[in-house]
C-alpha cells in the first residue's frame, strides 16, 4: 500500500505513539506501507519537527528524517491543476496523484475535497485509515 502522510499525522504519531497516527508511523517504519515523498514534503517535515514547541530531540528527528529519506519512494510531482484552499497542502495532493498513492492520510480531510481530486485517491483521517487496514488483514 502506498500513501502520503500529511505533516500533522507525522507530528501526531510522534506525540501520541499509541494512537492511530503512531500506529501509522509504525507501519511506515516497519515497511508495511510505502511512504511517497518529494523534496517539498521532506522540507516541511524537517521544518515542523524541529520547531521548539514540540520538544523533539534534534538527533532523533535527524535519524527519522534519514530513514524517511532513504526508505520512502521519491516522486517527481509536477503541478497538477489541483487547487486547494491551503497552498501548503498542494505538495501532498500532487505527490499522492503523481505517485499513484492509495491513500493521503491527514488529520484535516476537509482540506482535500474529493471534488478536486481523482476518484482513485482516498483521503482519510488516521482512525479511518487504520480501520481500512484492519479490514484488509
Does residue 129 carry a pLDDT above 80? Answer: yes
Does residue 75 carry a pLDDT above 80? Answer: yes
- 108 beta partners: none
Max mean pLDDT range (17-31, 66-80, 105-119)? 17-31
pLDDT for position 80 = 66
Q: How confident is the model at residue 116 (pLDDT cuts 50, 70, 90)?
A: confident
Q: Which residue, 105, 54, 113, 107, is CA-closest to 83?
A: 113
Which region among 22-36, 43-57, 80-94, 104-118 has the lowest average model confidence (pLDDT)?
80-94
- Domains of the chain and any CATH numbers: 2-136 (3.40.50.1010)
pLDDT for position 20 = 97
- 126 within 8 A of 105, measured Cβ to Cβ: yes
The C-alpha atoms of residue 60 and residue 56 are separated, in whole angstroms, by 7
pLDDT tens-digit series, residues 2-36: 999 999 999 999 999 999 999 999 999 999 999 99
pLDDT tens-digit series, residues 29-56: 999 999 999 999 999 999 999 999 999 9
pTM, two decimal places = 0.94
- 6 within 8 A of 109, measured Cβ to Cβ: no
Does residue 79 carry a pLDDT above 80? Answer: no
Amino acid at each position: 500500500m502506498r500513501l502520503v502522510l500529511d505533516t500533522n499525522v507525522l507530528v501526531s504519531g510522534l506525540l501520541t505513539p499509541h494512537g492511530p497516527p503512531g500506529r501509522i508511523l509504525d507501519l511506515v517504519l516497519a515497511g508495511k506501507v510505502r511512504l511517497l515523498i518529494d523534496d517539498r514534503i521532506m522540507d516541511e517535515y524537517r521544518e515542523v519537527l524541529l520547531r521548539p514547541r514540540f520538544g523533539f530531540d534534534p538527533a532523533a528527528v535527524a535519524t527519522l528524517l534519514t530513514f524517511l529519506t532513504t526508505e520512502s519512494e521519491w516522486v517527481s510531482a509536477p503541478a497538477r491543476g489541483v487547487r486547494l484552499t491551503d497552498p501548503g497542502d498542494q505538495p501532498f495532493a500532487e505527490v499522492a496523484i503523481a505517485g499513484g498513492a492509495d491513500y493521503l492520510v491527514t488529520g484535516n480531510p476537509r482540506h482535500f475535497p474529493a471534488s478536486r481530486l481523482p476518484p482513485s485517491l482516498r483521503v482519510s483521517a488516521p482512525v479511518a485509515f487504520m480501520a481500512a487496514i484492519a479490514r484488509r488483514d
